[in-house]
Amino acid sequence: MLKLATWNVNSIRIRLPLLEKLAQKENPDIVCLQEVKAKREDFPFEEIKRIGFENIALYSMPGYNGVAILSKLPLYNIRSYHHVGRDDARHISAKIKNVEIHNIYIPAGGDVPDEKTNPSFVHKLDFVEELTEFFEKESDRQKLICGDFNIAPSENDVWSHKALLQTISHTPIEVEKLRMFFEKGRFVDAVRTIFPEPEKIYSWWSYRNPNWQKNDKGRRLDHIWTDKSLAESVRNIKIAKEFRAFERPSDHVPVIADLEI
């Protein structure tokens, strides 16, 4: 059995106590982190190794973004990827056993879903298009991809489909781009194999909402996809909502998969 967690920590140095709590409560073999927000010399390698993750693959930059794969198992063939001409620390992969794991942080896209006035939104759409082309070429390889995709694709991945149609993360063009990525890569949505439609599931609750627990206005932005050969190996999925209520939380919570690998 292999247990993998994906989590946008929104600063690894702030969230280090919660990473330790995750290791104690869930005992994952692998943790894929996004938004570590620490350049290599500031990344807490020794503290993370003491928590139990001896093997660390990091692609980082000062202050922003950054992705890391933490593992109790050896990591092989570690690679970092630049997309849409930017070296902005959003995609890293490593091989564990016979599976290639890709950890991805898709751009948020800014505030206004307008390609004419918002270059951040254009960057997001172009980034997803480039991922689509990349994984379409790699569709015959055994792999798992996960991370903060910053898109909630289904009507049941958001608290209100109608209210959020013009909100970045759930606009029709983003949903369509992600659908093409999913289909051309021949992926299976591991989370939805355990929590099938029409069940409402979320992994993110805004910091701006002090009553997030009561009104539950969430979105499912964090995903775990497998290729078809790994789909049958998914045994369980947990969305660790309790981490949103801990002291100094990220606005995202860990999404955890148990796989028979």
Q: What does the pLDDT look like over 65-111, one tens digit per residue?
A: 999 999 999 999 999 999 999 999 999 999 998 899 999 999 999 99
Question: Residues 132-151: what's their mean pLDDT?
Answer: 90
Q: What is the pTM of this model?
A: 0.97
Pair 253, 202: CB distance under 8 Å: no
Confidence tier at 139 by pLDDT (50, 70, 90)? low
Per-residue pLDDT band at 58 (split at 50, 70, 90)? very high
Question: What rounded mean pLDDT belongs to the chain?
Answer: 96
Beta sheet of 99-105, edge-to-edge order:
76-80, 91-96, 99-105, 143-148, 222-227, 187-189
Q: What CATH number does residue 98 fall under?
A: 3.60.10.10
The three-class DSSP label of residue 191 is helix
Q: Are 181 and 222 in contact (CB under 8 A)?
A: no
* pLDDT bucket at 141, cuts 50 / 70 / 90: confident
Q: Residue 245 — φ and ψ, nearest 5°?
A: -100, -5
pLDDT band at 140 (very low <50, low <70, confident <90, very high): low
**Non-local CB neighbours of 185 within 8 Å, separated by 6+ positions:** 132, 135, 136, 138, 139, 145, 225, 227
Number of domains in the chain: 1
* Phi, psi for residue 31 in degrees, rounded to 5: -130, 120
Q: Which of 24, 184, 193 is nearest to 201 (CA)?
A: 193
d(CA 37, CA 182): 28
Domain range for 44: 2-259
Angle, CA of 3, 91 and 154, to the nearest 5°: 70
